[in-house]
Chain A
Amino acid sequence: MADTSTVGAARADAPPPAATRKPRSVLRRGRAVTPYLFLAPYLVLFLVFGLAPVLFGAWLSLHQWDIQLPNRPFVGLDNYRDLFSSDSAIYGDWWSSVRATGIFTVFSVPLLVVVPLGLALLLNEKFPGRTFFRAVYFAPYVLGVAVIGLLWRFLLDANLGLVNRLLGAVGLPADTPWVTDVPWAWVSLVGVTVWWTSGFNAVIYLAGLQDIPPELYEAARMDGAGAWDRFRNVTLPGLRPVMLFVLTTTILASANVFGQSFLITQGAPGQETRTVVWRIVDEGLRDNDAGRAAAMSILFALALAVISIVNFRFFRYRED
């Protein structure tokens, strides 16, 4: 300790005129390099694990690519054409998986944006046991998809499950096919997902709510604004950036749904609840057609990118 301080002191005490110029020139030269040095670790990771796989995927999608087969012929845009041509073997499966993902996303996203908001507003109030309830609503989120999947598969079983038994006990129909027929399968998948992930979005909202300055509420109250007016004119605008984040990540997460239908409905009936990600996994890993899987991934990624951009535009427009 003493050593370092004396060294430091010695340096500070001895400023030779030549030395002042030198560091300055190093700094100046460094100015161009410094930001890149800070960026470098991430940039390297991004190039290796982000950009390179995407480019490689694009390259794969132009081939019939089986990791084990010695010849992986270049097929041009055939893989993409197969996805759009009704006489290919994968056309039906692909579009039914797109439909499944679409249905799930359209029904789950609004619920996952609104329900957690309501939850966060409630949990933001002061009442006894608040921390306990915050924990309760967040709790399911810490469980893995395998756990909640198996759990709900048994609870929702049409013939043996607890859900139908409870419904029967209160005089409601007790033979609803929750996991084997549509639309019930969708109700189950969306319901389970809302139960499972609402806590996460609620926590984000809570953080956002606590960032809104209390003076704004006080001022609004003094101006005679009611609860609804305060929510509309103070809370919602204050939450806008948070909502954009929640909406975007929720859309992406919902579009990437896989485990729930894999475990709870097993794709039934037929393949109606088999989602895009599941389809891609099957194509690439089970059917060993990495080219087709890559073509599917790229189309899917482009679609999600477009949706996200529209999403951002929409929010920015409202801000203006």
Chain B
Amino acid sequence: MMRNEMSRRRLLSLGVGLGTAATLTLAGCGGDDEGSTATGNGGKEYTGPKVDLKLWNGFTGGDGEIFKKLVDTFNTEHANIAVGVTTYRWEDYYAKLPGAVSSGAGPDIAVMHMDQLATFAARGVITELDDVAKTLELTEADFAPTVWQGGRYNDKRYGIPLDMHPLGFYYNKAVMQKAGLDPEKPPTTRAEYDAALVELKKSGVQGFWVSPFQFTGGMTFYSVMHQWGGTLFDADVAKATFNSDPAVEACTWLVDMIKQGHSPANVGQDADYLALKAGKNAFNWNGIWQINDLKKSADVQWGVAPLPQIGSKQAAWANSHNFTIVKQRSTDANKVAGAKVFINWLSQRSLDWAAGGQVPARKTVREDAGFKALTEVGALAPEIEYAAFPPAAPGIGEVLLTFYNSFNEAVLGKKSPKQALDDGVAKADKQLEDNRKKYGS
């Protein structure tokens, strides 16, 4: 019965024309909230008929197995909700999702990075989740403010944060020891950092390899730029500002690492991290996701700590995985209600998720004794207070790429830091203007 009704609605929407399908799903979404209150209550429980939910994510690493295990547990605990997980590489995933959604083959729930939320919200791929937050009485106080605010776009909530993954400071204890440094006391300030590099150099080690690529040199630059007080964009994300004096200073500090011989020139993709594991360098600023990989490398003596403070304040690049609910051509209120129950359930179990190498977004979980037992991941938890998340603006992905490319040119010595960043800003401003035209913000 319901099937028939739905397909008729779908046929009607098709009849109006493919081009307006997106408009119709937008309109259909208005009724979505009413529907969910009829069968569910924003995520507390679900008592309707059995629903099959499709969930897409990009957890291709060790985190994927933990995620699937969590979903299995959820499925056994909920007789009337069956969640099926599909995993793609993040790049493929973001490219596939819009097409799948507009052809009606999209998932019901999608895991998304914080900096993608605005783009997908503006493009009508995901729905608002304010009612989930309200019913579950989730507020900013339950999360770190930066993480909680990042789930919003245009004054509406689109993502329920699951975790955050910052950049951390990895150090090779054996290499430090060989250079006469205390392996239990990694440097925390610029003075200590510079001094440690000098000692390392004396022992014949280039201690801090600066990668020209987004992973991880670009993220390192992103972090130090914020430490110096610089930002990528102005407050409205209308103009790029990553050629400001603090930004140029931060970039110069990194480029000078090569000039001073603390880093080889022309570091390849991943070579900085491989060198850390191989004991060829001592320090690597890398994502929290490397913890599980290092744990598997039994012969490497390593430690991880919050990023040292090089500039005038603390800051660290970070991003966050968020749960979103995907818009459908025809909304099935039961599915939406089931999806909300799932999101709520998993969000509360983010301690298990933390084992996958992520800092849980929920405060209660971070304060849990169980989380404190995860020493390595826990070591990076303090960064959540000063994490620098990418801004929420539709189409920001391509502008961020321009930022990373400018850094690439500076590190590879193609341009001076100032020149590279100036050129990048000029291009980024044009991209931001294009985005304003396109998304009408």
**A-side interface residues toward B, CB under 8 Å?**
64, 66-70, 72, 87-89, 92, 153, 156-161, 175, 177, 179-181, 266-271, 282, 285-289
Contact = CB atoms under 8 A, between A and B. Distances in A.
Contacts of B267: 158-159, 180
Nearest to A182: B414
Contacts of A269: 212, 408-409, 412, 414
A69 B20 CA distance: 9
Given A66-B123, A157-B271, A159-B266, A268 B408 contact: yes
12 contacts: A68-B124, A69-B439, A88-B430, A153-B269, A156-B268, A158-B268, A159-B264, A159-B268, A179-B269, A181-B412, A282-B398, A286-B91
Contact of B123 (A68, A87, A157, A282): A68
Given A92-B427, A159-B264, A268-B212, A288 B20 contact: no
A150 B403 CA distance: 25
Q: What's the dominant secondary structure at chain B's contact region?
A: helix
B269 A68 contact: no
Interface in B106-122: 119
B278 A160 contact: yes
B427 A70 contact: no
B265 A177 contact: yes
Contacts, number: 106
A285 B94 CA distance: 8
Contacts of A181: 266, 412
B95 interface: yes
From A87, A89, A156, name the one whose CB has the most chain B CB atoms within 10 angstroms: A89
Interface string B61-105: 000000000000000000000000000000100110011011000
B434 interface: yes
A266 B123 contact: no
Contact of B427 (A64, A69, A89, A153): A89
A149 to B, nearest CB: 11
B438 interface: yes
B280 interface: yes
Contact of B434 (A89, A92, A268, A282): A89
Interface in B1-35: 19-20, 22-23, 26
Given A69-B123, A268-B408, A160 B275 contact: yes
Residue of A68, A92, A267 with highest tally of chain B CB at under 10 A: A68
Contacts of B40: none
Nearest to A88: B430
Given A68-B124, A180-B212, A269-B412, A287 B398 contact: yes
A91 to B, nearest CB: 9
A92 B427 CA distance: 9
Nearest to B97: A68
- In the complex, the 5 A-B pairs of residues with the closest C-beta atoms, listed nearest first: A177-B266, A89-B430, A68-B123, A285-B95, A70-B23
A196 B280 CA distance: 31
B412 A268 contact: yes
A68 B98 contact: yes
B371 interface: no
A270 B99 contact: no
A158 B427 contact: no
Contacts of B274: 160
Given A161-B268, A175-B265, A288-B395, 11 more contacts: A68-B98, A68-B125, A70-B124, A89-B430, A156-B268, A160-B274, A266-B269, A268-B213, A268-B412, A269-B409, A288-B98
Interface of B: 19-20, 22-23, 26, 91, 94-95, 98-99, 101-102, 119, 123-125, 209, 212-213, 264-269, 271, 274-275, 278, 280, 395, 397-398, 405, 408-409, 412, 414, 427, 430-431, 433-434, 438-439
Contacts of B269: 153, 179, 266
A65 to B, nearest CB: 10
Most buried by B among A72, A156, A285: A285
Contacts of B19: 72
Contacts of A88: 430
Contact of B397 (A64, A179, A267, A287): A287
Contacts of A285: 95
A69 B268 contact: no
B280 A160 contact: yes
A68 B103 CA distance: 10
A286 B95 contact: yes
A270 B408 contact: yes
Nearest to B103: A67
A121 to B, nearest CB: 37
Contacts of A153: 268-269
A271 to B, nearest CB: 6
B98 A270 contact: no
Nearest to A87: B430
B400 to A, nearest CB: 11
Contacts of B125: 68
A67 B99 contact: yes
Contacts of B23: 70
A159 B271 contact: yes
Given A160-B280, A288-B98, A270 B405 contact: yes
A180 to B, nearest CB: 4
Nearest to A271: B405
Contacts of B271: 157-160
A260 to B, nearest CB: 14
Contacts of A72: 19
**Which interface residue of B94, B95, B280 has the most chain A CB atoms within 10 A?**
B95
B26 A68 contact: no
Nearest to B272: A159
Contacts of B280: 159-160
A67 B102 CA distance: 7
A270 B420 CA distance: 10
